[in-house]
Structure 1
Amino acid sequence: MQFKSFIIVIVSYACAIVLSSCRGEEQEAEIPLQISYNFDIRPILSDKCFACHGPDENKREAGLRLDVREDALKALKENPSAHALVAGKPEVSELYKRIVSQDTALVMPPVSSNLKLSSREIALIEKWIEQGAEYEKHWAFVAPVKAPVPSQGASEWGNNEIDRFVFAKQKEKGLTPNPEADKERLLKRLAMDVTGLPPTIEMMDEFMADSRPDAYERMVDEFLALPTYGERMAIHWLDVARYADSHGYQDDGYRTQWPWRDWVIYAFNKNLSYKDFVTWQLAGDLLPNANKEQLLATGFNRNHKITEEGGVIQEEYRVSYVTDRNDLFGKAFLGFTVECAHCHDHKYDPISQKEYYELFAFFNNIKEVGIESVIGGPETYAKKPLMRITDQDLEEILSFVNKPDTNQLIVSVMGELDSTRATYVLNRGVYDAHGEQVQPGTPKTILPFDPAYPKNRLGLSKWLFDSKNPLTARVYVNQLWQEFFGKGLVESSGDFGMQGDLPTHPHLLDWLAVDFMEHDWDIKRLVKQMVVSATYRQSATVSPKALQTDPENFYLARSARYHFDAEHIRDLVLASSGLLVPTIGGPSVKPYQPAGLWEGATSGRGLLSIYEQDKGSKLYRRGMYTLIKRTVPPPTMAIFDASNRDLCEVKRLKTNTPLQALVMMNDPAVLEASRVLAGRLLQEKSTTEQKITKAFRSIVCRTPTEKELGILQTYYQKQLESIRAPQAQQLVRIGEFPLTKQVDLIQQASLMRVINTIYNLEETITKS
């Protein structure tokens, strides 16, 4: 049965590739009546022209700059009688003449670039020039405005404003929304999305029996109030913050940043506003009368990789730490690829190298060094500046930190120098190649820095949450949308710049961003808006027409289908089997892992040179508490696309590979869960049909159909007939959880295989 499952996965994967390759070319869309520079023209110029005629002065050809209208209208440097653009006259505009030229010596983009404009792109540029060649400021750099909510479809479909915007776009694209998913699938989707855990059978029974019109919304409120909500929300933020339990680099020693992780969970559960949540992490140490909770929050910017190797150059690594913080700030909060300006002016977006180092200056005044101490001692678990957590702290302000032992607890945090460290533009990004000295500042295209703000990280936080900042709210709303709908309204969630994807629903994104700000950056409220929407509650069934019209589901006429996050897959297995230990927070744990992985990739020094698997209850903690060693991340989680936490990551890949099927069939954690659940069911006074039904409901979170139940019962009977005592003994000894007493081993091994099959169903680990 397991081999057949594996073959099915392989065949399905191959079919997906074939179908993808066989899909015909999409029919070119009609040319709109009014051409938009932002949505129609700039993407073409950005892809095909800006590399040579964009903002990067060092790479600019022929002195021509096309990303600024004034420059594009000027007489050409090499031919003063000609102009790249002549408003209203494409036939005399050199830009148009070059893109339609048949002369390989004149055509643009040049033949050597391997770039070519389609007939539609050429037609768009021609019509744009005819209409006056008007430019617009990049959409993401214009402060969002709360667009009127569409009235179309208000009486036809939808629960809130989200649905009005979505329905209007569906109508525009010739799509119709799916009906609501059935209650069982909807409950599982909601539970996994909001808590990261499957619903219990009691929850299922309660929800199925609740016929009140607001039954679903009541369940949303119940899940949002659970402490598991904070754990689920924290996982995305740990990716953003590149949280790990080791320093990285070759020695990759142990670090104690987990109290900061405990704070993140706590902050989400108490619904700290996004404004305070971010401000404390960026500048909690600079707040007036800062307390230890606010100081602990700044561990966010000490989660980066830190070297412990001898012989390194102090300043080189110190600069790399500052660079990491600067790049994280751009990606996580601005959706802006500032790192592209580290060595030279950004080639596509309006940020100069000088502005990069002005932003860099905010993070360049920390009391830290490139390397300190040596491998081995407790003092290496955290790096200065650091905070010591006392027993009194744990009883008072830091009561949410789960400290299980009496060891000294220290955490790396932020702390300013008493003096100001000079910041320079680094020529070509080289740590000691000092160029022009700069002062703290922000990219002017986004929002000039208010001189009333202090020129430190607290001032930077004020700038970030300035009501005129066009990016902060949009970027986080988009990240949250991605968490609940599978992809953002801007698919390139880490890049809102000129090379990023355009929003599929720009008015919806802006409406949500402004609404988020108007309601005091309330995260739980925003989550509820999303999950109560009819858009979220749709069935995942896809019709042939919808698949052809919108294969990527950009316009949300169905629910998304993709595998759960790696941590949640582990959590589902543990929770459904009854093995899950629900303790929140505390040090990371080391569950089952193939032997020799750490030992084969280590310097042989430090606490993490040898993998010493934990015992007892530590084996059954939620996936988010699995210890992450950066140089050798947890293998099963990596197979399911978990981040290795080297750098800030705002979006995980979503892959489907045969290795994932092999994990579900052979991972000791899955086999142990199957064994334990089988033993517990055999201790109950119920029929075989009832036992299999309960297992199916616990794992898949719905009642099996008559056909499904018949197949599983037949498989169980075949296993009873084929499994022999020695094989049964071997199966029921998988894992370290105590053996179930007073049950027949043949029956347990047979039911174990049935349950393992249920865990291997695609539906089990797929959001649908």
Structure 2
Amino acid sequence: MRLSHISWILILSANLLLFSCKPDLPDEVSLAYDELPDKLDYNLHVKPILSDKCFVCHGPDKAKQKAGLRLDFAEFAYANLAENPDKVAIDPGSLKNSEVFYRILSTDKDYMMPTPDSHLKLNAKEKAILVKWIKDGAKYQKHWAFLKPEKKDLPDVDNKEWLKNPIDNFILAKLEEEKLKPSKEADKEILLRRVSLDLTGLPATIREIDAFLKDNSPDAYEKQIDRLLASPHYGEKMAVDWLDLARFADSHGYTVDRLRDMSPYRDWVINAFNRNMSYEQFIHQQLAGDLMPKPTRDMIIATAFNRNHQQNLEGGIIEEEFQTEYVVDRTNTFGDAFLGLSVGCAKCHDHKYDPISQKNYYELFSFFNNVKEAGQISWDGALPTPTLLLPTKEQEKVINFINNQIKKQESEVDKAKGSVNNDFENWIKTGTHLNLTKEKIPQAGLLAQYTFDDGTLKNVLNRKQAGTMKRESGADGDKAVFEKRDKGKAMVMDGDNYLDLNGVGVFRKSEPFTIGLWIYIPKDLKEGVIIHKSQAERLYNFRGFHLYLKNDRLEINMAHTAPSNAITRISKEPVPRESWIQLTITYDGSSKANGFRLYQNGRELLMETTMDQLTKDILLRASVQPGLQIGAWWRGFGFTHGKVDDIVVYDRVLTSFELKILANKTKWDNVLDLSNRTELKEYYLSAIAPDVFKARNDLKQLRIALADSMEKIKEIMVMQEMPKRKKAYILKRGNYDALGEEVFPGTPEFILKFPDNLPKNRYGLAQWLTHEDNPLTARVAVNRLWQNFFGVGLVKTTEDFGNQGELPSHPQLLDWLAVDFRESGWDIKKLNKMIVMSATYRQDSKSTKEQREKDPENRLLAHGPVFRMTAEMIRDNALVASGLITTQIGGPSIKPYQPEGLWQINSDNYKQDSGEAVYRRSLYIVAKRSVPNPTLSTFDATSRSFCVVRRQKTNTPLQALVTLNDPTFMEAAKVIGEQMCRTSNKQEAIIQAYRKLTGRKPSTKEVNLLLQLQQKEQIKFKNIPEKAKGWLNAGQYTVSLDLDQSLVAANTVVASTILNSDATLTKR
């Protein structure tokens, strides 16, 4: 039946009514719609809803997208639906054509969005916002943080007298908009304590407070700021926050969690802040100091930032897996610290909320992948490579002296060689050289020979010296297995048992040697060790040297700590299999790759050098050094089903002719006819010439002296770029061994396309960060610095500037500061000074009822910041107040008071320091990741296991127990109690103690209460003297016995009471 013309008009009219000025909506949504502003802002109103409630199923992550729909970009949201091509999710300006409109209002569980199984739900206001947004044209905007910040004009305000600097314009404009008034300026003593803690981490002393109170000049406050910014303790305070971010610690982490020393990096950070290094240089040097033009020692130390991550030395782990984990940590830290983005969420799949693809992640990953490092670090405590040696000036002088002596002695060796002609001729004339015909193999310098012909493991040169069969970590092995050869017998290896030569072949890196043997390589052996002098395979980072078969090539490695403090050479041609070959290694003691040679059947093999920076010795950290071991090693591949025979060990480098003799390619007779004197003279110089022998021995002793001197030098883990780029791949599901598409260094283009003129390495990445068009770096840095002073950033989610992060409380202020920061040359002190000089910062922290009701979190900053001091401040405040603090800057970490037995969980003994070290600042306390310092961790200090840009804030009863019972606080209270005894006026003594701990004078009521407490406690201690001992025995400080012990104890209770008060523990 056809509808009449009138029916069509009625239907059209109904539709026009439905989708005109205000749509027909459910009652609660309609009420919310009426309260919306006339104009919605996409980033402020719409984006947070989409990100929180929609992007899980319809965001950037392709793997999680449902129905092929994306709502994070306009072109996807406006497109025809994949499952319903006749429909669109959003038709800008048209509700009736927008599928999203119907779905968000639906109550049908099979149709509604979000779906019930997502456990997400839109409230009435959120539905109203989405409806109005679609109706108004559904305009998308780039995420606010991905837009380049602009320095807009300062907002105009009514109360201009309140303004101190541009910060205040933005804060006051918002307050006036919200009809709130700012607070008055804080009292001078409170303000000085606040700014002292914020800029140095230490409280103002009574002397400093009194000087400030007496100074009535207009710039009195500014003079205090300049003093604090110039203090060496400024760098310490700034370092505390940065070390959280840099995940600085004194241990490796994971289960075993051995200690390590990275304190030179901490000292570098402190010094950089004190020198007011520009933030640009600060991050450039940490990310890529080694790649910058003419890198200095300090610039390379800065790259330890990239090596602060946890490192694993547990047995049985997979090398490649943890190599990948370390690069992942560096990549994630880069995102958290500098971009304020959770890039780590894109490790296994595309980011669910931000436009960071998995490919983007591994492109960033590839910047940090090009360092030669071990996945499983050494069990013996060797610092993982690559490292930088840090000689003291005295050590440097010694090393330079020895190196000069070595150069001179090398010349002496050459001189000695050039002056042997007469001696050589006399040697020939006397016929002594003819004795060589009696030698089947060269005898000069021969230390040991093993032929196995008699079915034993005895040294032919010394029958009392025999090898033994062992397995695993030195356990007794199975009986040796021999089989017949054309000449005598050979040993058959099983890959588990090895032949231990028991002290034969204990060479240092400074000593020359030759090792030869015959081997038979089976067809199916993929890899395995042939010879080694070490404690184990990877578990001890290959310290020592070895000859290894892998990929049909032979590898020579000599290492202090592999893979970077080492020499590595690999043969260029495949090694023959299923036939007997003679291999000989020669080494000249030079500690250089070129000092190694490898010969096959008397012919020198061409070798590729992949590492040549052996700086320290190869001896193991053991009282008894193991000698050469053949055919297997602990926790590594052995020479399975391979055969060995005729092992020889020399303490000199054999000549080319001698090497041919070992390989049965020639005989002495072929050189003794004097037709070729060159080879005979070469032998004479190597084995006979007394002057040459002495000169070489002197050279060896100098090299040993150099090795001994180098061994004492401190070192630190740093970055070192490999000459050839290490390939990087998308790792499917983030698994280290699931290689996908190969990727190359790159950056997410939605932030900033990587400029063509920058190198595709870490230095280029660092420059990309500080490029004038990068929208994030300055914002993130400014926000974090703001957080240090106000307890919360302008963006509360300091770690997340992405779609899931909170919007800035004052977006125009954040952008103004970001641009100004960059324009100032990234001047950190200038920014800090601007913040603390502002009227905003200087406000009284007391809040009115109206302020609390309108702004309970003080995000509008109508009053000054107020929050508990950080863990470090709380301990340092007690040390300063008591006068116990040691103010030494920098140096190794300390071990203060700590309950016994905590470290027994993973075997390290905690040996408490004594003397002044116990009283050093808290940032120097040893940070053991698996067992953080209990005092600091109770007050929310991080474990430093990963990058943290915003500490959590907790309030627990345990915190009160710490400040009441921890020896540090009890000792501080005891010292203050003793000091109070030296003031005859008890009331004045209490006032002084109160001021030391809180920074302000107590009220009359507070003084009276504390006097009553003192009197009550003194009576108690006089009646029961034993109770006083509990208060006075804490810590290493001894109270003077000349004083009334009951009064000292009573004063200690008073001091402890003040120390535990809100006035002491809170920064106002």
TM-score, normalised to structure 1's length?
A: 0.92
Where is the helix percentage greater, Structure 1 or Structure 2?
Answer: 1
SS of alignment partner, residue 95 of structure 1: helix
SS of alignment partner, residue 85 of structure 2: strand
Structure 2: any 5+ residue segments left out of the alignment? 1-31, 398-710
Corresponding position of 1:147: 152
The farther-off stretch of 521-530 and 61-70 is 61-70
2:898 touches 2:934 (CA, 8 Å); kept in 1?
Answer: yes
Quick one: structure 1 residues 29 and 89, their matched pair in 2 at CA, closer, same or farther if it must change by over 3 Å? closer
Cα separation, 2, equivalents of 1:459 and 1:93:
45
Shift of 1:85: 1.1
Q: Does 1:691 align with 2:989?
A: yes
2:288 touches 2:762 (CA, 8 Å); kept in 1?
Answer: yes
Shift of 1:738: 2.8
Match of 1:708 among 989, 995, 1006: 1006
Q: Does 1:619 align with 2:918?
A: yes
Cα separation, 2, equivalents of 1:738 and 1:754:
19
Cα separation, 1, equivalents of 2:41 and 2:1033:
66
Corresponding position of 1:575: 880
Quick one: structure 1 residues 439 and 393, their matched pair in 2 at CA, closer, same or farther if it must change by over 3 Å? farther
Corresponding position of 1:422: 727
Shift of 1:305: 0.4
Match of 1:679 among 959, 978, 988: 978
Q: Does 1:391 align with 2:392?
A: yes
Corresponding position of 1:530: 835
Quick one: structure 1 residues 409 and 153, their matched pair in 2 at CA, closer, same or farther if it must change by over 3 Å? farther
Which letter does structure 1 place at the counterpart of 2:1026? Answer: P
Quick one: structure 1 residues 683 and 395, their matched pair in 2 at CA, closer, same or farther if it must change by over 3 Å? farther
Q: Does 1:557 align with 2:862?
A: yes
Corresponding position of 1:490: 795
Cα separation, 2, equivalents of 1:332 and 1:467:
18
Q: Does 1:733 align with 2:1068?
A: no
Corresponding position of 1:521: 826
Quick one: structure 1 residues 154 and 383, their matched pair in 2 at CA, closer, same or farther if it must change by over 3 Å? farther
Which letter does structure 2 place at the counterpart of 1:495? Answer: D
SS of alignment partner, residue 127 of structure 1: helix
Shift of 1:372: 3.5
The 5 A counterparts of 1:357-376 are 357-376=362-381
Corresponding position of 2:359: 354
Corresponding position of 2:307: 302
Cα separation, 2, equivalents of 1:596 and 1:103:
61
The farther-off stretch of 468-477 and 547-556 is 547-556
Quick one: structure 1 residues 700 and 353, their matched pair in 2 at CA, closer, same or farther if it must change by over 3 Å? same
Corresponding position of 2:758: 453
Cα separation, 2, equivalents of 1:547 and 1:375:
58
Quick one: structure 1 residues 638 and 522, their matched pair in 2 at CA, closer, same or farther if it must change by over 3 Å? same
Structure 1: any 5+ residue segments left out of the alignment? 1-26, 397-405
SS of alignment partner, residue 431 of structure 1: coil
Cα separation, 1, equivalents of 2:718 and 2:809:
39
RMSD between superposed Cα atoms in Å: 1.6
Quick one: structure 1 residues 413 and 719, their matched pair in 2 at CA, closer, same or farther if it must change by over 3 Å? same
Note the alpha carbon deviations across 1:605-653, whole angstroms, 9 max, x for none: xxxx111111111110101010011000001111100010000000001
Shift of 1:739: 2.5
1:153 touches 1:164 (CA, 8 Å); kept in 2?
Answer: no
Corresponding position of 1:98: 103
Cα separation, 2, equivalents of 1:29 and 1:333:
41
SS of alignment partner, residue 970 of structure 2: helix
Q: Does 1:250 align with 2:555?
A: no
SS of alignment partner, residue 80 of structure 1: coil
SS of alignment partner, residue 424 of structure 1: strand
Note the alpha carbon deviations across 1:161-194, whole angstroms, 9 max, x for none: 1110011111222322111111111111111111
Corresponding position of 1:23: none
Shift of 1:30: 4.1
Quick one: structure 1 residues 574 and 28, their matched pair in 2 at CA, closer, same or farther if it must change by over 3 Å? farther
Cα separation, 1, equivalents of 2:38 and 2:219:
44
SS of alignment partner, residue 82 of structure 1: coil
Corresponding position of 2:324: 319
The 5 A counterparts of 1:130-145 are 130-145=135-150
Q: Does 1:593 align with 2:892?
A: no
Quick one: structure 1 residues 560 and 88, their matched pair in 2 at CA, closer, same or farther if it must change by over 3 Å? same
Cα separation, 2, equivalents of 1:395 and 1:487:
47
Which letter does structure 1 place at the counterpart of 2:850? Answer: K
Query: Alignment identity in percent?
Result: 49
2:33 touches 2:129 (CA, 8 Å); kept in 1?
Answer: no
Cα separation, 1, equivalents of 2:943 and 2:34:
40
Which letter does structure 2 place at the counterpart of 1:639? Answer: T
Shift of 1:395: 9.4
SS of alignment partner, residue 92 of structure 2: coil
Cα separation, 2, equivalents of 1:31 and 1:537:
36
Note the alpha carbon deviations across 1:280-315, whole angstroms, 9 max, x for none: 000000011111010111111111101122222111
1:592 touches 1:619 (CA, 8 Å); kept in 2?
Answer: yes
Note the alpha carbon deviations across 1:487-543, whole angstroms, 9 max, x for none: 011111011111111111110000000000000000000000111111111111121
SS of alignment partner, residue 715 of structure 2: strand
Note the alpha carbon deviations across 1:370-419, whole angstroms, 9 max, x for none: 1233234xxx2x221101111129999xxxxxxxxx95311001101121
Which letter does structure 2 place at the counterpart of 1:446? Answer: I
SS of alignment partner, residue 598 of structure 1: helix
Shift of 1:368: 1.0
Which letter does structure 1 place at the counterpart of 2:1058? Answer: I
Cα separation, 2, equivalents of 1:564 and 1:449:
41
TM-score, normalised to structure 2's length?
A: 0.67
Match of 2:1054 among 724, 730, 754: 754
Shift of 1:130: 2.0
Note the alpha carbon deviations across 1:19-72, whole angstroms, 9 max, x for none: xxxxxxxx9994222111111101001111111111111111111111110111
Corresponding position of 2:179: 174
2:395 touches 2:713 (CA, 8 Å); kept in 1?
Answer: no
Corresponding position of 1:650: 949
Cα separation, 1, equivalents of 2:1007 and 2:339:
51
1:680 touches 1:740 (CA, 8 Å); kept in 2?
Answer: no
Match of 1:478 among 776, 783, 790: 783
1:674 touches 1:752 (CA, 8 Å); kept in 2?
Answer: yes
Cα separation, 1, equivalents of 2:139 and 2:301:
49
Cα separation, 2, equivalents of 1:257 and 1:203:
34
Match of 1:508 among 813, 818, 826: 813
Note the alpha carbon deviations across 1:536-588, whole angstroms, 9 max, x for none: 11111121211111111111111222111101111000000000010111111
The 5 A counterparts of 1:328-347 are 328-347=333-352
SS of alignment partner, residue 902 of structure 2: coil
Note the alpha carbon deviations across 1:446-500, whole angstroms, 9 max, x for none: 1111121101000001111100000000000000001101101111101111111
Shift of 1:128: 1.3
Corresponding position of 1:194: 199
Which letter does structure 2 place at the counterpart of 1:689? Answer: Q
1:591 touches 1:614 (CA, 8 Å); kept in 2?
Answer: yes
2:250 touches 2:261 (CA, 8 Å); kept in 1?
Answer: yes
Cα separation, 2, equivalents of 1:226 and 1:206:
17
1:365 touches 1:416 (CA, 8 Å); kept in 2?
Answer: yes
1:154 touches 1:164 (CA, 8 Å); kept in 2?
Answer: no
Cα separation, 2, equivalents of 1:45 and 1:107:
15
Corresponding position of 1:157: 162
The farther-off stretch of 109-118 and 587-596 is 109-118
Shift of 1:741: 4.5
Q: Does 1:539 align with 2:839?
A: no
Q: Does 1:469 align with 2:774?
A: yes
Q: Does 1:107 align with 2:407?
A: no
The number of aligned residues is 722
Cα separation, 2, equivalents of 1:29 and 1:191:
50
Which letter does structure 2 place at the counterpart of 1:43? Answer: P
